[in-house]
A and B are shown apart, each in its own frame.
Chain A
Amino acid sequence: MTEMRMSGAELLLKALVDQGVDTVFGYPGGAVLPIYDALFKQNAIRHVLVRHEQGAVHAAEGYARSTGKPGVVLVTSGPGATNAVTGLTDALMDSIPIVCLTGQVATHLIGNDAFQECDTTGITRPCTKHNWLVKSTEDLARTVHEAFYVATNGRPGPVVIDLPKDVQINQGSYTPPGDVRHKTYRPRVDGDDRQIAEAVRLLAHAKRPIFYTGGGIINSGPRAVAALREFARITGVPVTSTLMGLGAYPASDRQWLGMLGMHGMYEANWAMHDCDVMFALGSRFDDRVTGAIALFSPGSKKVHVDIDPSSINKNVAVEIGIVGDAGRIIEAMIAEWKKQGYQIDKAANDEWWRQIDQWRAKNCLAYYKSDKIIKPQYALERLHALTAGRKTYISTEVGQHQMWAAQFMRFDDPNRWMTSGGLGTMGYGLPAAIGCQLGNPDALVIDIAGEASILMNIQELGTACQYRLPVKVFILNNEYMGMVRQWQELLHGGRYSESYSDALPDFVKLAEAFHCVGMRVTDPGDLDRTIKEMIAIDRPVVVDCIVDKAENCYPMVPSGAAHNQMILGDGAGVAAKIEDNGLALV
């Protein structure tokens, strides 16, 4: 049989199709023209033209997080690649599978400072899970399959394939996906049975247990989500989650304590602090979660389940560290629990829940209501109430609005929540919403934004318009980089250095200039009507929701403090003082 010869560009598209790719987010340029030419001649892959390469990566992240499939990005060499770097770093921090294809100057020009040349593999080495420079067309298809394997297996993450222009043009032969087996990268998925048995025994004898879950449950997939829910049900253990893990456990369930961490729930943080057995499931003891490490959950025995061995004992030393896939390990734990016939210790469990209910009674999200100005928390309470019955997906930018969204938008399902957790990238939300809407055409997709963040990738309104994506941008406009202002208020003597959002555009006109619908709401009495109208319009809408400028986001574990030293808002309790050593921490 004569083997099929094709150009590198055609081989690339064939490999993508064989990997199940239907959507690519990209932006053309000289070094990827052969690929764009090949795209022009086919219909299997839809190319979505973004307005900035950072937007392409965030859109791919939104697509990936909401669909569970890897996101694919295509950008040109030099500035195209460097513009993608923030998105790649974001995806690395949040473990999102992304395959990013970058154009590169022809192989004979590499190293010559050619036009739009940059050392893409060098620049992206620390911000990808792995990267490749393809030097021969013969290697191209195999490298693409390997890249998908690496991006999606083990702890997911972004990968880059750098494609010199001559490699795209030259002829080569195709390698189908099945032929690829990785010679070095084979992450462990099944947990160690002995450790699992030991961990479950620990849980069975616990008096004050807690499940502290993270994005790993969502990344692991529907099986992990189902297993977590069952495990919690049969054991009666309270569940808290990181920012990344919201939705894995239903917020409407009684065993749900809410998010933990710096702006987490009072009851969640106190339960973490006072628990005697902690199961960390697909979470990584991030500093936003732990607060002061030395004071973190001092009396507990800790079990840590993570697909990435380097997450175990990195920040917090644990008694049992189990490497593997969260879903499989929780399933094995359930089986072990049943096999041993373990029972919930009824008396201890009741006592633990009595304590938790006392913490809950603090009502830590309480805030002063107003009928004059819109409180940001109220705006989100209403947004949540008016979208609750629908298939709603929420993305955010970064700042106070993000934390309020995490607190007030209560998720009952996984993959509905897209926020930049690890990197905290302002400008994430709008492109992520666009990617999410492309992957979920019938869904209601809302970017909860701040007036400062939204300006970082506002150009993507053009993408929303071009592809008729009815994404909603709901700006909590407090005229401040509110989170910066809050820290300056609490830590820097109220010196609001450069945190005022001066010279803001008219967001209504701005939306209209992008052929979107713009709306403004300033009166709490008009809020419901505005939100309902926004939802009803089948086009991209920007709502400029003018909120209280001075509102702070509480509860708060100040940097340098422990979970049991949380500050509550005036609405809930008395504010404590932040220690000076917290100043040096971010």
Chain B
Amino acid sequence: MEPEKKILSHTISVLVDNESGVLARVIGLFSGRGYNIESLTVAEVDPAGHRSRITVVTSGTAMVIEQIKAQLSRLVPIHRVSDLTQEGPHVARELALVKVAAAGDKRVESLRIADIFRARVVDSTIHSFVFEITGTTDKVNAFVNLMQPLGLVDVSRTGVAAISRGPEPM
């Protein structure tokens, strides 16, 4: 494939003013211009400064990724846009709650796998477990896939939160 056509996945952090409609602006930008959202998380990170941080995992050609960042930057209530994938090493984590309903061997096997993945049991009944797992998207995917044949009934995922390595702020 020509290099400029290659589809890349990027994790982008966006620091925004926590004002009404700001998330709608960001999401509207992605849907209106046909960009992908693979995952999007948002929460207030600076209550005193009324700032929220949005982490979005998106994919596209290098030119599209550059467009996405430029388009985000020109939204009025945005403080900063940073492309973690491009700017250097970063940590990205996702949390998932995974409900498995099983009995007998399958129930035991689900616990064993949870142990390997260092997932915690946060709810249990005679018929079910809810596991909490934290990790990269790949790790969470792997865990969910393994639970599939063991009685997976429900999954809730937070989407990716990410931050750069080292002492510098965003």
Q: Are A126 and B74 in contact (CB under 8 A)?
A: no
With known contacts A121-B21, A184-B17, A310–B67 Cβ distance under 8 A: yes
Question: For the complex, what is the distance from the CA of A579 to the CA of B98, rounded to whole Å?
Answer: 55
The reply to whether A314 and B76 contact each other, CB–CB distance below 8 Å, is no
Which chain A residues border B25 with CB–CB below 8 Å?
125
B126: Cβ under 8 A from any A Cβ: no
Docked Cα-Cα span, A129 to B29, in Å, equals 12
CA distance A308 to B24 in the complex (A): 22
Interface secondary structure of B, over-half rule: helix
Q: Are A310 and B77 neighbours in the complex by a CB distance under 8 Å?
A: no
Complex: chain A residue closest to B73, CB-CB: A309
| Complex CA–CA separation, A25 to B70 (angstroms) | 33
Give Cα A131 to B75, complex, Å. 11
Q: A310-B71, A313-B66, A314-B67 are in contact. Are A185 and B24 (CB under 8 A)?
A: no
A154 at interface, CB cutoff 8 A: yes
Q: Is B79 an interface residue (CB 8 A)?
A: yes
Closest approach, in angstroms, between the C-beta of B84 and any C-beta of chain A? 19
With CB as the reference atom, state the residue of chain B lying closest to A133: B20
Whether the Cβ atoms of A184 and B79 lie closer than 8 Å is yes
Which of B17, B32, B70, B78 lies in contact with A310, CB distance below 8 A? B70
Closest B residue to A310 by beta carbon equals B70
Known contacts A126-B32, A309-B70, A310-B70; is-contact A184 B77 (Cβ 8 Å): yes
Among A125, A150, A187: residue with most chain B CB under 10 A: A125
A317 is contacted by which of B63, B77, B78, B79 (Cβ under 8 Å)? B63
B28 at the interface (CB under 8 A from A): yes
Nearest Cβ distance between residue B12 and chain A, in whole angstroms?
Answer: 14
A493 interfacial by beta-carbon distance below 8 Å: no
Q: List A residues 267-326 near B (Cβ within 8 Å).
A: 308-310, 312-314, 317
A183 at the B interface (CB under 8 A): yes
B66 nearest in chain A by CB position: A313
Task: Give the residue name and chain of the A residue nearest to B4 (CB).
Answer: A317
A residues near B71, Cβ cutoff 8 Å = 310
Q: Which residues of A contact B70 (CB under 8 A)?
A: 308-310, 312, 314
Within 8 A of A (CB), among B5-35: 17, 20-21, 24-25, 28, 32
Q: Are A183 and B74 in contact (CB under 8 A)?
A: no
Interface string of A183-224 (1 = CB under 8 A from B): 111010000000000000000000000000000000000000
The CB with the most chain A CB atoms within 10 A, among B66, B71, B73, B79, is that of B66
Q: How far is the CA of A185 from the CA of B25 in the complex (A)?
A: 15
Which residues of chain A have C-beta atoms less than 8 A from B76's C-beta? 129-130, 150, 184-185
B79: chain A residues within 8 A (beta carbon): 183-184
Q: Which of A158-195 contact B (CB under 8 A)?
A: 183-185, 187
| A residues in contact with B32, CB < 8 Å | 126
Identity of the chain A residue whose Cβ is nearest the Cβ of B19 in the assembled complex: A132
Minimum distance in angstroms from B62 CB to a CB of chain A:
9
Which of B73, B74, B79 has the most A CB atoms < 10 Å from its CB? B74
For B67, what are the chain A residues with a Cβ–Cβ distance below 8 Å?
Answer: 310, 313-314
Interface check A389, CB cutoff 8 A: no
Docked Cα-Cα span, A131 to B32, in Å, equals 17
Complex formed: what's the CA distance from A494 to B78 in Å?
51
Q: Specify which chain B residues have a CB less than 8 angstroms from the CB of A310 in the assembled complex.
A: 67, 70-71, 73-74
The smallest beta-carbon distance between B4 and chain A, in angstroms, is 8
B74 partner residues in chain A, CB cutoff 8 A: 154-155, 187, 308-310
Residue A122 CB within 8 A of the other chain: yes
Kindly report which residue of chain B lies nearest to residue A155, judged by CB atoms: B74
Contact partners of B63 in chain A: CB under 8 A = 313, 317
Note all chain A residues with C-beta closer than 8 A to B24: 122, 125
* Neighbour of A183 across the interface among B4, B17, B20, B21, CB < 8 A: B17
Closest to A122 in B: B24
13 intermolecular pairs with C-beta atoms under 8 Å apart: A122-B21, A125-B25, A130-B75, A131-B21, A133-B21, A308-B70, A309-B70, A310-B73, A310-B74, A313-B66, A313-B67, A314-B70, A317-B63
Given contacts A121-B21, A309-B73, 12 further A-B contacts (CB under 8 A): A122-B24, A126-B28, A130-B76, A131-B21, A155-B74, A184-B17, A185-B76, A187-B74, A309-B74, A310-B67, A310-B73, A312-B70
